Structure 1
Amino acid sequence: MKAKMKRRFVLCMGAILLTGTLAAQTPVPEWQAGVDKVKSLVKDNPDQASEEAGELLKGKNKKNVELVTSIARVYLDAGKLTEAEAYLEKARKADHKAPEVSVLEGDIALARKDVGKACQLYEQAIYFDPDCKEAYLKYAQAYKSASPAQAIEKLQQLKAIAPDYLEADKVLAEVYYANNHFGKAAEAYAKFIDT
C-alpha cells in the first residue's frame, strides 16, 4: 500500500515539475489573448479590432514595445499597411532603439517591395541588438535572390554568434539551393536534418 502511494506521489510530482518546466519554456504574455482577439476581428470587423487594440494600449501598455509591435504585426499580416505603420509610430515613440521596432519597419518596407530599405532596417536592428536572430534571417531571406553573397555572409555572421541555431542552417541551405550550389545546400540541409 505504501509503495503504491509513494509511486503515485512520485508520478504526481513528476507531472507537476514537467508542467512547470514546459510553462517556463514558453511564457505567454498576459496581453496575448487580447492580441489574438484583435487578429480575429481585423478582417471582418476592423472598427471593433481598432477599439480592442486601443483598450490593450491603455496606461502602461502604451510603452510596451512588444505589445505595440505585436498589434502592428497583426495589421501587417492582414495586409493593412496604413494601420501597421500607425502602430509602428507608436512603437517608435515607446522605444525607437528596440530591435523589434526596426525589424517591424523592415517588414513593412518589404511589404512595400523596398528590399534595400528593409535590409537597411534589419541591419539597424542588428546594430541595436547583435543577438537579434530574426533580423539576420530576414536580411538573408530578403537578399537570397538579389545578392546571395550578402545573404550567405549575414547567415555566417549569425552562425558565429549562435552556432546551434537550426533556422540559420535551414535558410543557408535555401540560399545555396536557390543559387544552384547544390553541394553546399546538401551540407547545410544535412546539419539541419541531423539535429
Structure 2
Amino acid sequence: MKAIKYLVMGVLLAGFSATANAQEEELNAALQGIKSKAPDVAKLANTAYKKNKKNAENLMKIARAYFEQKDTAGAAQFARYANEAGKPKYQYAPAYLLLGDIESAYGTDGGKAAGFYNQAINFDPKNPEGYKKWAMVYRKISPSQAAKKLQDMKAQCPNEDIDAFTAHIYMLAGDEKQAYENYAKADINKLDKSGLNEFVRCSYFTGHFEDALRAAEAGIKLEPRNPTFNRLAMFSNYELKNYDAAKAYINKYFNETDSAKFSEYDHFYTALIYQALEDKANMYAQYDKALELVNDSSMIKRWAILKSVSDSYLKDQEFEKAIKYYEQFIDSKPDMSFDDHEGLATIYSKYGDAIPEKKLEMMNKAIALYRTLAEKYPVQEVYATYMRASLNNKLDDNMKNSLAKPDYLKVIELLGNKADRSKGEDLMLKTSYHYMMFNSYINKNVAGAKDYADKILAIDPEYKPALEIKNLK
C-alpha cells in the first residue's frame, strides 16, 4: 500500500510541476514579448493570462512590464486582472498602486491617481509605498495635506523616517521654509546626494547658513567634486564670516569641481569674499568677471553689481571711479528711489570732505542734486532742504556768509507749526533753530537768539547751548 501511495503522490507532484513549469514558460514568453514589442505580444499575454488567472503576483509582473514600455492600456488591464485574482478574499493593493502610477504619469486628474493610491493604503495600510505615492501626487493640491498623510504612514509604519520625505514634498512644492524645518529634523547621515542637495539649498535660501554648511560638507564627503555642495559651502562660510574658509572653497569650486560653467553670481560672491579679506586686486577682478557675464535673466542684476563696485571704490576713497560706477548703477536700475539717487550726493559730499581742493565743486554738486531731488520727490522736501543747509554750512567759515540760512529757514517754515512731528523731524527742526540761534547771536541780535533758544528748549528742555543763550544778560 505504501508503494502505491507514493506512486500516486509522485504522479500528482509531477503533474503540478508540469503545470507550474508551463505557467512560468508562458509568463516569461509574455514578459519577453512585451519587452521586445513582438508582433504577437497580445496573443502571448492572453495565453499567460489564461494560465495565471488566479496568480495575482504573476499578473502584476505582466502589468508592470506593460507599464515600463509605456503601454498604459495593457498595464491597466493586467492590473485589473491581478485585482480580480484576489477576489473575493481580498483586494490586491499592488494593482491599485500601479493604476495610480498610470494616472500619475499619463493622466490629467491628480485626484484620480490619489484615489487609487488611497485604495492601496486601505487594503495594505502597513505598506509605506501607498502613502508616499499619495503624498507625491497630492502635494500639487495641498502640500500640508500631503505632509499629514505621511504622519498617518508613521502611525502605521513606525520604522519609516518621514522627516526627509516630508521635506522633499515641500521642496517640490516650492516651500523652502517648510522644507528646511523638516530637513533640520532628519538624520543627516541617512540623506543621500539628492536629499543633501535639497537640504543645503533650502537651508541657504532661508538664511540658515550653519545648516547649509553642515549639509554641504556632508555632500562633499559623498561627492568631493560636486559643484553645488562646494559652491554653497563657499557662500555659507562667507555668510558666517568664516572668510578664510570661504577663500579655501574658491579654489575648490573653480578648479576642483565638475562644473562646466560659472555664473556672474559666483564671481560676485567671490568678489565679496576677497573684499572681506581686503584683497582688492582679486576683488575688482571678480567684479569685472561678474559684469562680463551678467544679463537680463541673471539671478543678480547688473545694477546690484555696479552698486557694490561703487561702494568698494568709495571705501577706498577712489572717488572718481566710485562716481563712474554709481552713475552706471543709476542708468541701469529701474524704479530708482530717493535713497538710490541720494547715494550719488553722498559720494560727492565724502569726496569734498576728503579732498580740500575738490570741496567747493563737490559740495555744490551735492547741493544741486538735493535741490533736484526735492522737486522730484516732494515727500522728501524737508529732508532734502535740511541736507542742502548742512552742506552749505560746510562751505561757510563760521557762518561768515550765512550760506545755510535760507535752507534752515525753509526747514523751520515746513516743520515749525507741524503738530505730529517724528523724532527725526524734531532733530532737523532743533538743528535748524540751533543754526539760527547762533547766526542771530554772532550778528549781535541777542533777542533773536534768545527767541530761537526758547524754541529749542520747547523741544529739548536740557539742551545746554540754548540754556546758555537763554541766560545771557
TM-score in terms of structure 1 length: 0.69
1:62 aligns with 2:53: yes
Q: Which residue type is aligned with residue 167 of structure 2?
A: A
Matched, 1:42 2:34: yes
The partner residue of 1:100 within 71, 87, 94 is 94
What is the identity, as a one-letter code, of the residue corresponding to 1:158?
A: M
| Counterpart code for 1:143 | Y
Return the alpha-carbon distance in structure 1 between the equivalents of residues 123 and 80 of structure 2.
18
| Residue of structure 2 aligned with 1:145, choices 140, 149, 170 | 140
Q: Distance in 2 between matches of 1:135 and 1:158?
A: 9
Would you say the 8 A contact 1:126–1:135 is kept in 2? Answer: yes
Structure 1 position 115, deviation (Å): 0.9
Who wins on radius of gyration, i.e. which is larger? 2
Alpha-carbon distance between aligned partners in 1 of 2:83 and 2:73, rounded to the nearest angstrom:
15
**Residue 338 of structure 2: aligned partner:** none
Q: CA deviation at 1:49?
A: 4.1
Report 1:80-159 matches (<5 A): 80-95=71-86, 97-110=91-104, 111-159=106-154
Q: Which amino acid aligns with 1:106?
A: G
The one-letter code of the counterpart of 2:118 is E
Query: How much has 1:116 moved relative to structure 2?
Result: 0.0
Question: Which of structures 1 and 2 has the larger relative contact order (alpha carbons within 8 angstroms, sep 6+)?
Answer: 1
Q: Is the 8 A contact 1:41 1:48 kept in 2?
A: yes
Is 1:73 aligned to 2:68, yes or no? no
Shift of 1:187: 2.1
> 109-118 or 34-43: which moved more?
34-43
Letter in 2 for 1:149: S
Structure-2 change in CA distance of 1:75 and 1:161 (3 Å): same
Q: What number of residue pairs does the alignment pair up?
A: 163
1:177 is the counterpart of 2:171: yes
In the other structure, the counterpart of 2:188 is: 190
Opposite residue 94 of structure 2, the aligned amino acid is E
Cα offsets for 1:46-101 (capped at 9, x unmatched)? 33544443444343x22111221221121112111111122123123213512112
Residue range with higher mean Cα deviation, 180-189 or 112-121: 180-189
Q: 1:35 to 1:134 in 2, by over 3 A?
A: farther
Q: In the alignment, what sits opposite 2:444?
A: none
Seen in structure 2, the aligned counterparts of structure 1 residues 162 and 41 have a Cα distance that, compared at 3 Å, is same
User: Could you tell me how far apart the structure 2 residues matched to 1:128 and 1:189 are?
Assistant: 31
1: CA distance between counterparts of 2:27 and 2:149?
Answer: 32
Preserved CA contact (<8 Å) 1:119 1:139: yes
Tell me if the contact between 1:177 and 1:185 (Cα under 8 Å) persists in the aligned partners. no
- Amino acid paired to 1:99: A
> How far apart in 1 are the matches of 2:84 and 2:146?
31
- Distance in 1, matches of 2:56 and 2:69, equals 20
Separation in 2 of the partners of 1:160 and 1:39? 38
Structure 2 runs not aligned, ≥5 long: 1-20, 193-473
The aligned counterpart of 1:7 is none
The secondary structure found in structure 2 opposite 1:187 is coil
Residue ranges of structure 1 left out of the alignment (5+ in a row): 1-29
Matches within 5 A, 1:155-170: 155-166=150-161, 168-170=162-164
**What secondary structure does 2:62 align onto?**
helix
TM (norm. structure 2) is 0.31
Counterpart of 1:47 in 2: which secondary structure? Answer: coil
Structure 1 residues 151 and 44: CA distance shift in structure 2, 3 A: same
Distance 2:97 2:65 in 1: 14
